[in-house]
């Protein structure tokens, strides 16, 4: 029997000859870490999209359907590249909150259909 060490915690593995993790916990940790590394860019983009949606909702709760230039969103810490944008060439759906382009560099916040102002 050869001496196998766990791919995650590097402890000696006891069990089947082809076993490469000491436990289910280490196996999951290894695969979760690989998943995060493999999808790093997509996961970061998703994080940014969700943070933006939160900021858009907060703006909407304060000001309603105001029209803003992209510069105003950037000043409020929002990256317009990571929002829903209803452009003349189509709709990109990232989240339920939408920035609708209504003129040259002029955007209006459109809340989700299910949005309830009292929640
Ligand atoms: Zn382990």
- Long-range CB pairs of 48-55 (<8 Å, 24+ gap) are 48/79, 48/82, 49/82, 49/83, 49/94, 49/95, 50/95, 52/78, 52/79, 52/82, 52/83, 52/95, 52/97, 53/83, 53/95, 53/96, 53/97
pLDDT in tens, 72-107: 888 888 877 777 665 556 666 666 788 888 888 888
From ligand 1's centre to the CA of 3, what distance in Å? Answer: 14
Is residue 28 one of the residues assigned to a domain? Answer: yes
If one compares 37 and 59, the residue with the highest pLDDT of the two is: 37
From ligand 1's centre to the CA of 7, what distance in Å? Answer: 7
Q: How far apart are CA 1 and CA 82, in angstroms?
A: 53
Structural domains in the chain (count): 2
Q: Are residue 62 and residue 100 in the same domain, yes or no?
A: yes
From ligand 1's centre to the CA of 25, what distance in Å? Answer: 7
Q: Are residue 106 and residue 58 in the same domain, yes or no?
A: yes
Is residue 98 one of the residues assigned to a domain? Answer: yes
Calculate the average pLDDT of the chain: 84
Q: Are residue 7 and residue 26 in the same domain, yes or no?
A: yes
What would the mean pLDDT of 28-40 be, rounded to a whole number? 96
Q: What is the pLDDT of residue 6?
A: 95
Is residue 97 one of the residues assigned to a domain? Answer: yes
Q: How far apart are CA 119 and CA 81, in angstroms?
A: 28
From ligand 1's centre to the CA of 38, what distance in Å? Answer: 21
Q: Which residue's entry shows tokens 């690989």?
A: 34
Q: What is the pLDDT of residue 21?
A: 95
From ligand 1's centre to the CA of 10, what distance in Å? Answer: 6
Q: How many CB atoms lie within 10 A of CB 101?
A: 16
Q: Are residue 58 and residue 88 in the same domain, yes or no?
A: yes
From ligand 1's centre to the CA of 34, what distance in Å? Answer: 15
Q: How many CB atoms lie within 10 A of CB 33?
A: 11
Q: Are residue 31 and residue 69 in the same domain, yes or no?
A: no
Q: Are residue 55 and residue 106 in the same domain, yes or no?
A: yes
Q: Are residue 15 and residue 57 in the same domain, yes or no?
A: no
- Which domain covers residue 27, as residue numbers? 1-38
From ligand 1's centre to the CA of 39, what distance in Å? Answer: 23
pLDDT in tens, 4-14: 999 999 999 99
Asked whether the predicted pLDDT for residue 15 surpasses 80, the reply is yes
Residues in the chain: 119
Q: Are residue 60 and residue 106 in the same domain, yes or no?
A: yes
Give the global pTM. 0.65
Is residue 119 one of the residues assigned to a domain? Answer: no
């Amino acid at each position: 029997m050869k001496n196998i060490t766990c791919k995650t915690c590097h402890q000696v593995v006891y069990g089947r000859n082809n076993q490469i993790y000491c436990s289910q916990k280490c196996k999951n940790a290894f695969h979760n870490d690989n998943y995060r590394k493999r999808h790093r860019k997509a996961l970061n983009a998703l994080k940014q999209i969700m943070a933006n949606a939160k900021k858009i909702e907060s703006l909407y709760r304060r000001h309603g359907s105001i029209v803003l230039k992209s510069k105003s969103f950037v000043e409020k810490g929002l990256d317009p590249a990571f929002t829903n944008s209803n452009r003349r060439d189509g709709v990109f759906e990232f989240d339920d909150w939408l920035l609708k382009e209504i003129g040259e560099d002029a955007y209006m916040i459109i809340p989700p259909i299910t949005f309830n102002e009292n929640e």
